[in-house]
């Protein structure tokens, strides 16, 4: 049976992590078993204890659980890279631990991979799926960064910063990712362009959080993304 590795970067998400695992396990995927790879990126709350409880008693639908722990916070990119190192699935999917992205969308993300059309699939919050209405200037910044990324990669994606992405294992490993923090999103698209991957985009729902609710990305990450877009497109 083929295996899907669900890569879950975790930083201070004790409130939602168990629900993430339960909802991922509940997704029906014929012919695929699910491996949950959770990376605690230096959390200061009880996230790692929740991860250990999930490992001791995986929810129905989860065939295996792997845990990785960073002693200090290194960033989302570093957590994803650590997860890739231990994942064993034929396919891999990045699932944020905060439930801004709904595991019910997983079958749509995997469909172009399973039928052989794609090497990687990215979700888009702007293709018609339901989404929480939040920050206007985040939307503007995302559109500008996506435009710049598309100009340099020659892709026509609508949502470069979306965190829901899925890959064939061979494709993901070939990217040789280097980002530590939120630069992982533009880096993934830049490197997919460099390896000439077959890329698909599908609509996803989005339940964004406010900063009071725990949202982590800030305007500084948007400024940094400008550098990462150029860095990963043109430099070795």
SS3 readout for 21-75: HHHHHHCCCCCEEEEEEEEEECCCCCHHHHHHHHHHCCCCCEEEEEEEEECCCCC
For residue 218, pLDDT beyond 80? no
- Residue 225: closest CA among 194, 183, 166, 167: 183
Residue 109's CATH number? 3.90.550.10
Q: Give residue 98's region: left, alpha or beta (phi > 0; psi -120 to 50).
A: alpha
Q: Do 17 and 51 form a contact (C-beta atoms < 8 A)?
A: yes
Give me the pLDDT at residue 75, please.
93
- Decide if 126 is inside a domain: yes
- Decide if 141 is inside a domain: no
| Structural domain for 34, as ranges | 2-134+162-181+198-212
Average pLDDT, the chain: 88
Mean pLDDT across 8-37: 96
Determine what percent of the chain is predicted with pLDDT higher than 90.
Answer: 63
Give me the pLDDT at residue 171, please.
97
- Decide if 206 is inside a domain: yes
Banded pLDDT at 16 (limits 50, 70, 90): very high
Q: Tokens at residue 213, please?
A: 């609710």
- Decide if 227 is inside a domain: no
Give me the pLDDT at residue 174, please.
95
Query: How far, in Å, are 2, 4, 33, 114, 231 from residue 174 at the CA level?
Result: 20, 17, 23, 19, 18
Instruction: With 0.75 as the threshold, say if the pTM is over it.
Output: yes
- Decide if 18 is inside a domain: yes
Cβ atoms within 10 Å, residue 71: 8
Number of domains in the chain: 1
Give me the pLDDT at residue 60, please.
97
């Amino acid at each position: 049976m083929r295996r899907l590795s669900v890569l879950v970067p975790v930083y201070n998400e004790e409130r939602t992590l168990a629900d993430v695992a339960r909802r991922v396990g509940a997704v029906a995927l014929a012919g695929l078993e699910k491996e949950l790879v959770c990376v605690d990126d230096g959390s200061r709350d009880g996230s790692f204890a929740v991860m250990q409880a999930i490992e001791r008693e995986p929810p129905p639908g989860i065939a295996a659980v792997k845990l990785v722990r960073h002693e200090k916070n290194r960033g989302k990119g570093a957590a994803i890279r650590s997860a890739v190192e231990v994942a064993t699935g034929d396919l891999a999917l990045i699932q944020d631990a905060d439930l801004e992205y709904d595991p019910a969308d997983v079958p749509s993300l995997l469909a172009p991979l399973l039928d052989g059309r794609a090497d990687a699939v990215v979700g888009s919050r702007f293709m018609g799926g339901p989404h929480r209405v939040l920050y206007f200037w985040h939307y503007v910044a995302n559109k500008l960064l996506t435009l710049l990324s598309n100009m340099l990669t020659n892709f026509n994606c609508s949502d470069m910063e979306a965190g829901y992405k899925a890959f064939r294992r061979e494709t993901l490993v070939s990217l040789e990712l280097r980002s530590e923090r939120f630069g992982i999103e533009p880096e993934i698209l830049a490197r997919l362009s460099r390896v000439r991957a077959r890329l698909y985009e599908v609509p996803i729902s989005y339940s964004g959080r406010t900063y009071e609710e725990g949202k982590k990305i800030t305007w500084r990450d948007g400024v940094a993304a400008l550098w990462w877009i150029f860095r990963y497109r043109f430099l070795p």
